[in-house]
């Protein structure tokens, strides 16, 4: 990957609808050359997908929370992982070291729906949960900027 590929990636992360023409004028390469580079970046998996970023507030999703979860029984984790993959309010689920096994980011409508989600997680065998409401976000970078 060279400097031009990085510029292309940064431009597409900033605006996935950037045209080949716009990218071409930025990097001073022909449109066919840019098109070929984009196709290679897609085929190699470097560009995984294109997506719209939705503001949750406009979808009546007013509560964001981070939930730390611990399972003492490893057998319960498989059921939880499958649940996490299908639960639409779970935005992210990471496995971690330390006292807790998992951290999930949840965006939901209100405290009642959050409480229902916590109850479902407990039903999956979670032994300890720590729920923290997000008051504000200082930095959110859904993109991976390349130098």
The reported pTM is 0.84
- For residues 75 and 106, state if they share a domain: yes
- For residues 77 and 16, state if they share a domain: no
Give CB contacts under 8 A, 24+ apart, made by 46-54: 46/1, 46/5, 46/9, 47/9, 47/12, 50/12, 50/16, 51/16, 52/16, 53/142
pLDDT in tens, 9-32: 999 999 999 999 999 999 999 999
Q: Say what the pLDDT of residue 141 is.
A: 86
Residue 147 pLDDT greater than 80, yes or no: no
Compute the CA torsion angle 131, 136, 142, 145 (nearest 10 deg): -130
- For residues 73 and 129, state if they share a domain: yes
Q: Say what the pLDDT of residue 143 is.
A: 84
114 found inside a domain: yes
pLDDT in tens, 89-144: 999 999 999 999 999 999 999 999 999 999 999 999 999 999 999 999 999 888 88
pLDDT in tens, 36-57: 999 999 999 999 999 888 899 9
- For residues 38 and 64, state if they share a domain: no
- How large is the average pLDDT for residues 71-89? 95
* Total domain count, the chain: 2
Q: Say what the pLDDT of residue 123 is.
A: 95
Full residue range of the structural domain in which residue 25 is found: 3-43
**Comparing C-alpha atoms, which of 113, 106, 109 is closest to residue 134?**
106
48 found inside a domain: no
- CATH number of the domain where residue 34 is located: 1.10.10.10
Instruction: Give the angle subtended at the CA of 141 by the CAs of 67 and 28, to the nearest 5°.
Output: 160
């Amino acid at each position: 990957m060279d400097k031009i590929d990085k510029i292309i990636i940064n431009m597409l992360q900033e605006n996935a609808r950037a045209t080949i023409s716009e990218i071409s004028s930025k990097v001073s390469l022909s449109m066919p050359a840019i098109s070929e580079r984009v196709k290679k970046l897609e085929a190699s998996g470097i560009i995984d997908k294109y997506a719209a970023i939705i503001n949750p507030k406009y979808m009546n999703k007013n509560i964001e929370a981070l939930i730390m979860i611990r399972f003492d029984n490893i057998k319960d984790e498989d059921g939880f992982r499958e649940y996490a993959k299908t639960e639409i309010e779970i935005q992210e689920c990471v496995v971690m070291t330390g006292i807790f096994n998992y951290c999930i980011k949840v965006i939901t409508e209100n405290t009642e729906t959050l409480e229902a989600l916590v109850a479902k997680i407990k039903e999956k065998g979670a032994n300890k949960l720590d729920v923290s409401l997000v008051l504000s976000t200082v930095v959110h970078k859904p993109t991976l900027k390349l130098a």
